[in-house]
Amino acid sequence: MPESTTKTASATRELTFAQAVNEALAEEMRRDKRVCILGEDVAEAGTPFKVLSGLVQEFGVERVIDTPISEAGFTGVGVGAAMTGMRPVVDIMFGDFLTLTMDQMVNQAAKVHYMSGGKWKVPMVLRTTLGASRRSAAQHSQSLHAWFSHVPGLKVVMPSTPWDAKGLLKSAIRDENPVVFFEDKMMYKLKGPVPAEEYTIPFGVADVKREGEDITLVATSSMVQVALEAAELLEAVGISAEVIDPRTMWPLDEKALIESAKKTSRVMVIDEGYERYGVTAEIASVIAEGAFFDLEAPVKRLGAMHVPIPFSPPLEDVTVPTGPGVFAAAKKLCGKS
Amino acid sequence: MPESTTKTASATRELTFAQAVNEALAEEMRRDKRVCILGEDVAEAGTPFKVLSGLVQEFGVERVIDTPISEAGFTGVGVGAAMTGMRPVVDIMFGDFLTLTMDQMVNQAAKVHYMSGGKWKVPMVLRTTLGASRRSAAQHSQSLHAWFSHVPGLKVVMPSTPWDAKGLLKSAIRDENPVVFFEDKMMYKLKGPVPAEEYTIPFGVADVKREGEDITLVATSSMVQVALEAAELLEAVGISAEVIDPRTMWPLDEKALIESAKKTSRVMVIDEGYERYGVTAEIASVIAEGAFFDLEAPVKRLGAMHVPIPFSPPLEDVTVPTGPGVFAAAKKLCGKS
Amino acid sequence: MSTVANQTGAEAPVKKEKLLEMYRRMQMIRQFEEQVNELYTRALMPGLAHLYIGEEAVAVGICEALNVDDYITSTHRGHGHCVAKGASPDRMFAELLGKEAGYCKGKGGSMHIADPATGNLGANAIVAGSAGIATGAAFSAKHAGKGQVAVCFFGEGALGQGVVYEVMNLAALWKLPVIYVCENNLYTEYTHFSETLAGDLLQRGTAFGVPSEAVDGQDVMAVNNVAKRMIARARAGEGPSFLVCNTYRYTGHHVGDINREYYRSKQEEQEWKTSRDPIKLLTKWLTEQGHASTEELSGIAQEVAAEMKAAVEFAIASPYPAIDKVAQDVYA
Amino acid sequence: MSTVANQTGAEAPVKKEKLLEMYRRMQMIRQFEEQVNELYTRALMPGLAHLYIGEEAVAVGICEALNVDDYITSTHRGHGHCVAKGASPDRMFAELLGKEAGYCKGKGGSMHIADPATGNLGANAIVAGSAGIATGAAFSAKHAGKGQVAVCFFGEGALGQGVVYEVMNLAALWKLPVIYVCENNLYTEYTHFSETLAGDLLQRGTAFGVPSEAVDGQDVMAVNNVAKRMIARARAGEGPSFLVCNTYRYTGHHVGDINREYYRSKQEEQEWKTSRDPIKLLTKWLTEQGHASTEELSGIAQEVAAEMKAAVEFAIASPYPAIDKVAQDVYA
Ligand SMILES: Cc1ncc(C[n+]2csc(CCOP(=O)(O)OP(=O)(O)O)c2C)c(N)n1
Ligand SMILES: Cc1ncc(C[n+]2csc(CCOP(=O)(O)OP(=O)(O)O)c2C)c(N)n1
Ligand SMILES: [Mg+2]
Ligand SMILES: [Mg+2]
């Protein structure tokens, strides 16, 4: 089966992000009987986002399993099941509830392989969501991927398109390690091409979503769409922006990021998590160090404001990066104000 | 009462770090009846580290309260108690167990004030430990302060000396917000001067632990001792190192860090948490941006290796920064190899 | 589970004034929620909301037995608790619309209304997220020694969360004045509780040393009676209690949950609405016992309707917070 | 809590071979731990360790009833479980000293010994940290359909952790073949369990639909009998059980906990050691019933002593892992 990291494929269809995720799960469940899904309202309801619709009909309640509201408990069951022969995909409805899984993921899943001297493995996937702007307030809007990226033993995946979502999720399910897979809730309806034939996308390979010469916009998850919008606006003022998507926070394709920075000499990093002590800090540091002698300006970071996400629409709207916001900052970084 | 940020005081004594913490708690409990301590084996046992010895004798079991092994539960009780008039100091024995408190600290404590439009406050302190090299293996050696630093609504304190520990802890207890206070287990026996008179240390004020000209070593918690050791070694080869301690991760004294970087033009950031996506990334980014035109070399970061902390002594010893390690890297950064 | 008290078994006679106040609060909740649904349907409300319709007797039966300085914590389905504890509909609607005049200046929204003036520590969008907070409030109350109590409302879905048992254990050990009120409305989102909870619900309190009872949650007088007993125990320093209120939510899990037949039948919904409606039951009892006439009661309902209409208009007309407010209130 | 089965009430006769094997394993644990204490005292062991001395009958009574491909999860006080499930002392000592030859190549140490060959999913330094893992192993076992079971060992302190109840509920709902074994040795670190656990311990299983029993944890035959029943239930697809074993740790919470009088009396310790020692009790029973002579038994003890001596020497002589191993095994 080809590992596809580019956007060429013999036949593609338009799928939504949600459909791409659904298809990845269905294909892997068909291929491998050990794959099962655990989570709240994943079966008949197909999750509140309807991402899993139809799976219980095909695979039955033995493999698509509704759980009580016990995030720590069923994540822990996922860890143990993964150690003993299953390939569980654990569903955490809102990324905000990851707070409840930290011990299972960090003290257990991430460390089992190392602490056992390589004897036990934990091939599980924790699928969850991130992202604000749904008017869901502070406990249903967080993007907490920085925490997991900090923890050795975990891999962290953040797809930005239906194509990437499918290919990366299939890789995640086949990976021998615990993988945390973040889906932006606002992207579920986003449409894009997805190859008709089987493919996977390897971890640790960044993808250039748009080529450019004057500035590099490093963006994650739905911020890729934001960066692409900004790139259009920049083009209109004569600035050619490259948009590069690391796709996995860990492993991180440092080389590709540094190369792009060296080429353009100006970099902005955009992520929907809190800017402070968030993933933009790591990425900016890696680039500032690796491209030190080629940068014409400091690496600029743009993440969420350092506030709990407010409910009120006009307030919420200013807390996360937007296309026009990225455009303005990027233009300034290029010396045009 | 004077806010003391410097090391001058009319009378000082030598105290251990543990004694300084103990004294801060005792003084605040005498001053304010609302201050109480909740945690596992905090009363008669005075914690396994004996840091709280004597407090239950003075303040009684109504204010120094042994809890079951229910980190989420009693942290949650701390949040509710803080909202309704107490000033609880919650004790989490090993920083590794913070995994169990994440929902209480992040979804509740950090957000209550904002979500209620400023109506409820959560004046609580979560005291906990960090640090490896006690041969305690992967689940008793983590330094997880980066997670909390990422979360708006929390303040994060990391004292590096007995003096700072006492002054910062007193400020933490008087703060109107949830404060996470990290103590390095390996520092409890460290001795240092502590003023005899009452003092507090404000948050957000970095402290220059040693002045220097050629390179800035930004260091946190026990890494300040490591940096000071490295500074001695550097002096011997003719390099003058400035050691600066931010003391609080949030609020962060960006100005002082940038000023020092501008002065020396070379910077290394040393922290015992994982380097990847850790606090060194934020600090390095802030400096790389703020001192961009003054830096002669990329900001160098040094944190823990990206591995769960191993038990075996020779392996554990190479996972965290050491004086000689910092010395070697700093020397190289200064162009001497 | 058995119903420990019912209307006929009411222990101490309740004054007419109180009875009518309970009726009014139940009407307020019902009509408040109908307006919320209307706002959602008219696309005037940002986001979603979880309606309390059908469960009014629980919040009202319990909060009537509380003082203003007693504490409550609430849930994602929290409007009923707010109203029952004494909040004003206008500022609640303003909060739901994200307006500056809202209880939380628009920063909280439907799932986070809090109000120190009525002892409301806040709704919580984390299932079981306020179990620790309520227990902590009881901890403070015990230290303050003024006889306050804390009531922790949660759905039966919260019984899946371990933290509930952690704090019950603490409350029992320390004899804290807290009442854990489980609103068993049969469903956690789209799943019947029998699929997610094993064993016996009441034992989940007693196992941790917390005396436990169940009550018909559609019968406001029954709820009120058992609440009074539990609150009296708590005030007397005898510790926590656990109360399971058997009830039903008439509408969807949230306002957008329209097609429910894949998880529950229309017939089931109809049965509850027809024969177990808490407002109908109270109306019947009040009139049969001669506490009030039908006219009196429908007069109250009309007053409430006018109040709700004005409150909604107030909220719609209110301004949003200024953008620069976004960075305020992060730290105290 | 009542003792459900005891030596005299043993249900099916156990073969002599098995009896002596249980005796041997108990001796192995006892002597292993004595050596650990010795290594600590001689400053040959890095860090600390938590000794299982006094509790041998629990691990041995249960693990004797398991097959090699059944799973166990263990705790910070885990050496006894390891030995009982069949691990070799030499590689265990090597692990405790951080040597390459250890079960985890020295990376885990005392609190993390794991061994797939004997179904040991690993000790855990987070109290209750393996509750999820054990339940997950039972989940796999159910799916695999080969009749395996999982045993989750934990101290009574773990009953403070909510996750235990979350997974018990799941195990009951899904009828998973898992046995939760609570080793109630009366203390969680330096605190008597009565100060930290309210209510009735057995109800903490039954409340979540998990059949629960208590047993004298010093009586290996009693433990073995009830374990067999619970394991048979699990293998038959009848779901989880909860077993409280009443026992005692003779020494400190860890090897460095020498002065214990502020939390328990010397007299209490003495009583358990004198009249409730599991090895003495088994010795007495074996000889009285004529299953073995004192000579036979002391012969076994001596063999074990020789084995332990050799094992310690092996571990001391073994090399540390090469430094470059530090970055291996982070990812599979
Ligand atoms: C920790 C957590 N997990 C999941 C959710 C998503 N969620 C919101 S409400 C709900 C169901 C709650 O059911 P119940 O407690 O019975 O309350 P009800 O909605 O029936 O009033 C779920 C699963 C959440 N908010 N928090
Ligand atoms: C989550 C967590 N909290 C606290 C600790 C510290 N700790 C280690 S052992 C222990 C006591 C455990 O008591 P119990 O479960 O009864 O086991 P025992 O030591 O008696 O065998 C504590 C509090 C821990 N390891 N993990
Ligand atoms: Mg419900
Ligand atoms: Mg114990």
Q: Is the pLDDT of residue C234 over 90?
A: yes
Tokens (6 digits) for C197: 């909870």
Q: Which atom of ligand 1 is nearest to the CA of C155?
A: 15
Among C188, C196, C201, C260, which is best to mutate for testing ligand 1, by the most ligand atoms less than 8 A from CB?
Answer: C188
CA D62 to ligand 4 centroid distance, Å: 18
Which helix (H) or strand (E) segment holds residue A233: the answer is helix A223-236
SS3 content of chain B, % helix, strand, coil (to 5): 40, 20, 40
What does the DSSP 8-state code read for residue D60? H
Contacts of A212 (CB under 8 A, 6+ apart): A231, A240, A241, A242, A243, A264
Q: Which atom of ligand 1 is nearest to the CA of C193?
A: 16
How far is Cα C208 from Cα C195, in angstroms, rounded to an integer?
Answer: 23
- Judge whether B306 counts as a catalytic residue: no
CATH number of the structural domain C12-319 = 3.40.50.970
Of C107, C132, C170, the CB nearest to B117: C107
Q: What is the pLDDT of residues D229-272, one digit of tens each?
A: 999 999 999 999 999 999 999 999 999 999 999 999 999 999 99
Q: Are A192 and A162 in contact (CB under 8 A)?
A: yes
Cis peptide before C321 (omega within 30 of 0): no
pLDDT at C71: 98
Contacts of C324 (CB under 8 A, 6+ apart): none
Q: What is the pLDDT of residues D71-121, one digit of tens each?
A: 999 999 999 999 999 999 999 999 999 999 999 999 999 999 999 999 999
The dihedral over CA atoms of D225, D229, D231, D233, expressed in degrees to the nearest 10, equals 180
Is the minimum distance from the CB of B219 to ligand 2 under 6 angstroms?
A: no
Of D162, D196, D209, the CB nearest to C199: D209
pLDDT at C4: 37
What's the whole-number average pLDDT of chain C? 96
Contacts of C317 (CB under 8 A, 6+ apart): none
pLDDT at D5: 41
SS3 content of chain C, % helix, strand, coil (to 5): 50, 10, 40
pLDDT at D12: 65
How far is Cα C242 from Cα C93, in angstroms, rounded to an integer?
Answer: 31
- B108 in contact with C, Cβ within 8 Å: yes
pLDDT-wise least confident of A170-184, B211-225, C282-296, D12-26: D12-26
- For D229, the 3-state DSSP assignment is helix
Contacts of C173 (CB under 8 A, 6+ apart): B68, C209, D195, D196, D197, D198
- B250 in contact with C, Cβ within 8 Å: no
Q: Which of A305, A294, A293, A242 is nearest to A268 (CA)?
A: A242
Determine whether the interchain pair A79/D144 forms a contact, defined as Cβ–Cβ distance below 8 Å: no
Nearest alpha carbon, ligand 2 atom 22:
D189
Residues 107-126 of D with CB under 8 A from B: 107-112, 124-126
Is the minimum distance from the CB of D30 to ligand 2 under 6 angstroms?
A: no
Q: What percent of chain A has pLDDT over 90?
A: 96
How far is Cα B221 from Cα B243, in angstroms, rounded to an integer?
Answer: 12
CA C257 to ligand 1 centroid distance, Å: 14
How far is Cα A20 from Cα A52, in angstroms, rounded to an integer?
Answer: 11
Q: What is the pLDDT of residues C128-139, one digit of tens each?
A: 999 999 999 999
Helices (H), D145-290: 162-174, 203-206, 220-235, 266-275, 278-288
**D305 CB burial (10 A radius; 0-12, 13-18, 19+):** middle
Q: Is the pLDDT of residue B10 over 90?
A: no
Nearest alpha carbon, ligand 1 atom 21:
C155
Q: Is the pLDDT of residue C1 over 80?
A: no
Q: Is the pLDDT of residue C38 over 90?
A: yes
Q: Which of A184, A209, A210, A186 is nearest to A273 (CA)?
A: A184
Chain C contact set for D164 (CB, 8 A) = 162
pLDDT at A139: 98
Chain A contact set for C107 (CB, 8 A) = 137-138, 308, 310-312, 315
Helices (H), chain C: 16-41, 56-63, 79-85, 89-96, 131-144, 163-174, 203-206, 220-235, 266-275, 278-288, 294-317
Substitution target from C127, C185, C197, C255 for chain A, most A beta carbons within 10 A: C127
Q: Is the pLDDT of residue D169 over 60?
A: yes
Chains that contact A by 3+ CB pairs under 8 Å? Answer: B, C, D
E strands, chain D, where?
A: 71-73, 150-155, 178-184, 187-188, 191-192, 212-216, 241-246
Q: What is the pLDDT of residues C280-330, one digit of tens each?
A: 999 999 999 999 999 999 999 999 999 999 999 999 999 999 999 999 999
- D164 in contact with C, Cβ within 8 Å: yes
Strand partners, B195: B12
pLDDT at A3: 53
pLDDT at B3: 53
How far is Cα B47 from Cα B57, in angstroms, rounded to an integer?
Answer: 14
Determine whether the interchain pair A150/B99 forms a contact, defined as Cβ–Cβ distance below 8 Å: no
Q: Are B151 and B113 in contact (CB under 8 A)?
A: no
How confident is the model over B168-181, as a mean pLDDT? 98
Structure confidence at residue A8 as a pLDDT band (50, 70, 90): low
What does the DSSP 8-state code read for residue C224? H
CA distance A79 to chain C (A): 18
In the block, residue with structure tokens 């009828």 = D175
- For A36, the 3-state DSSP assignment is strand
How far is Cα C261 from Cα C32, in angstroms, rounded to an integer?
Answer: 26
How far is Cα C62 from Cα C54, in angstroms, rounded to an integer?
Answer: 15
How far is Cα D73 from Cα A80, in angstroms, rounded to an integer?
Answer: 10
Chain A contact set for C125 (CB, 8 A) = 136-137, 139-140
Q: Is the pLDDT of residue A311 over 70?
A: yes
pLDDT at B6: 53
- For D309, the 3-state DSSP assignment is helix
Written as one string, the DSSP assignment of A175-215 is: -SS-EEEEEEGGGTT-EEEEESS--B--TT--EEEE--SSE
Give the residue extent of every domain in chain C: 12-319
CA distance C229 to chain D (A): 21
Q: What is the pLDDT of residues B94-123, one digit of tens each?
A: 999 999 999 999 999 999 999 999 999 999
pLDDT at B336: 84
Structure confidence at residue A255 as a pLDDT band (50, 70, 90): very high
Is the minimum distance from the CB of C163 to ligand 1 under 6 angstroms?
A: no
- For D168, the 3-state DSSP assignment is helix
Q: Is the pLDDT of residue B223 over 60?
A: yes
All structural domains of chain B: 14-193 (3.40.50.970), 207-333 (3.40.50.920)
In the block, residue with structure tokens 């499918």 = A166
CA C175 to ligand 4 centroid distance, Å: 23
CA distance D113 to chain A (A): 7
Is the minimum distance from the CB of C187 to ligand 1 under 6 angstroms?
A: yes
Question: Residue length, chain C?
Answer: 332
Q: What is the pLDDT of residues C110-156, one digit of tens each?
A: 999 999 999 999 999 999 999 999 999 999 999 999 999 999 999 99
pLDDT at C5: 41
Q: Is the pLDDT of residue C238 over 70?
A: yes
Chain D contact set for C164 (CB, 8 A) = 162
Q: Which of C164, C191, D305, D134 is nearest to A39 (CA)?
A: C191
**CA distances from residue A24 to A47, A89, A145, A198 in whole angstroms, order as listed:** 16, 12, 22, 9
| Number of neighbours of residue D287 by Cβ within 10 angstroms | 15
